[in-house]
Amino acid sequence: MSILIKNIKQLLQVHQDNIKIVKGADMKKLPLIENAYIYIEDDTIVEFGTMADYKTIDAETVIDASGKIVLPSWCDSHTHIVYAGNRVSEFVDRINGLSYTEIANRGGGILNSAKTLQNTTENDLYEQSLKRLNAIIAMGTGAVEIKTGYGLTVDAELKMLNVIKRLKQTSLAKIKPTLLAAHAIPEEYKNDKQGYVNKIIKELIPKASALRIAKYIDVFCEDGYFSIEDTDAILKAAKKHYLIPKIHVNQFNILGGVALGVKHNALSVDHLEELNNDDIVALKNSNTMPVALPACSYFLGIPYTPARQIIDAGLPLAIATDYNPGSTPSGNMNFVVSTACIKLKMTPEEAINAATINGAYAMGISSMYGSITRGKKANLIITKPMDDYSSIPYEFGDNPVGQVIINGQLLNPLK
């Protein structure tokens, strides 16, 4: 199987060397080739260059991308797309004045989703999740991290991990699974949080690890959820099973989760709507990627992650959807890229770097995904006609994606 795309108006995120992360001022650079071609064999980027240098290549499929832009697929490093049902009634409750925390305190929120998921069969859960996965692929996402955390029992968390495994087996998208059993304290442990933490440490982590169905470990480190001490204990236990931390921190309160994540060599620390100077200092000289989730801030009406402070301190930044039924019922990375520009004051170049190479880094896959580099996986977006890549964030709410190539396969154009 081979595909040649010719006459590309702009080929974005082109790197001769295999970069794995972009930081600070470099995030403003987005290397591109005007009037370009790219050639793909099977699932791999083989060649690219300017049309002026193009020498005839015989390919099974030839695409004329005149007036269109080609870029690496979005790398969405933070989602909860395996869930059952929805929480639309809580959405209406919030419009009528209840806060996210008040809804959670009444037994809604994550516990509400857990109840629904526990009563959903694995097959049904798989079908519901597959629909969401296919929808985000059509919107340009080619690699995605998926968390558990709506099970909250050993069986239901393993059911979620099995669903993620099945999605991995059937989808062309690259998928990385994360165990987020420490997402909320289940009703039956409401007076015995330590009992639930022990269950995660002694039973769930060893089981998930033995089955090899989780790669990362996550904890919702937040007031009313899991403390610094709980998080530390879970990350320590996970380390013994080679699970790498990617944690929820600083969504509503600053507890010191950023420094804790760095101490545990977390791959990423995510949310960061609240951030102080100690957090910035902790992130400097670390290998931990800060991840902003602008669509969550938009939907909940909470502060936006201070991206300028992070990037201007010389740090890298990734952006992701946080697709979940409670705080972000959207997996649209195009909207996330627009919102990063409009609300986080990131330039289009910074937002595209954050949603491609740095998103890939936050999933541990940036050696194979996130840039146009020879030898990397052929996950590409071919946009609708546009004059310049800045139109991707500018035309917010629109879908800039015309066609996608995922794992070297061309999917049908969107209707």
- 268 is a site residue for ligand NIG (CB under 6 A): no
- 222 is a site residue for Zn ion (CB under 5 A): no
Q: Which stretch binds ligand NIG (CB under 6 A): 27-35, 43-51, 313-321, 322-330?
A: 322-330
- 76 is a site residue for Zn ion (CB under 5 A): no
Sign of the Cα torsion 217, 75, 301, 255 reads: positive
Question: Which one of 322, 356, 368, 410 is in contact with ligand NIG (CB under 6 A)?
Answer: 322
Secondary structure of 225-241 as H, E, C letters: CECHHHHHHHHHHHHHC
268 is an annotated ligand-binding site residue: no
324 is an annotated ligand-binding site residue: yes
* Residue 230 interface partner, choices ligand NIG, Zn ion, none, CB cut-off 5-8 Å depending on type: none
Between residues 76 and 322, which has the closer beta carbon with respect to Zn ion?
322
Between residues 72 and 257, which has the closer beta carbon with respect to Zn ion?
257
- For the bound state, the minimum distance from the C-beta of residue 150 to Zn ion, rounded and expressed in Å, comes to 11
Question: Which one of 322, 331, 372, 410 is in contact with Zn ion (CB under 5 A)?
Answer: 322
Between residues 180 and 382, which has the closer beta carbon with respect to ligand NIG?
180
Question: Which one of 21, 40, 45, 109 is in contact with ligand NIG (CB under 6 A)?
Answer: 109
78 is an annotated ligand-binding site residue: yes
271 is an annotated ligand-binding site residue: no
Burial classification of residue 77, based on how many CB atoms lie within 10 Å of its CB (0-12 exposed, 13-18 middle, 19 or more buried): buried
Between residues 224 and 385, which has the closer beta carbon with respect to ligand NIG?
224
Question: Which one of 120, 148, 297, 324 is in contact with ligand NIG (CB under 6 A)?
Answer: 324
* Residue 109 interface partner, choices Zn ion, ligand NIG, none, CB cut-off 5-8 Å depending on type: ligand NIG
- For the bound state, the minimum distance from the C-beta of residue 250 to ligand NIG, rounded and expressed in Å, comes to 11
Binding mask 160-189 for ligand NIG (x = CB under 6 A): ------------------------------
Nearest to 244 by CA among 211, 208, 268: 268
C-alpha span between 268 and 361 (Å, rounded): 9
- For the bound state, the minimum distance from the C-beta of residue 235 to ligand NIG, rounded and expressed in Å, comes to 17
Binding mask 239-258 for ligand NIG (x = CB under 6 A): ---------x--x-------
CB 334 within 8 A of CB 356: no
C-alpha span between 124 and 122 (Å, rounded): 6
| Total residues binding Zn ion (CB under 5 A) | 1
Tokens of 363: 């999933």
> Which residue has the closest beta carbon to ligand NIG?
326
Tokens of 201: 């440490």
Binding-site ranges for ligand NIG (CB under 6 A):
109-110, 113, 220, 248, 251, 296, 322, 324-327
Known binding residues are 78, 80, 87, 150, 183, 248, 251, 322, 324, 326-327
Residues that bind Zn ion (CB under 5 A): 322
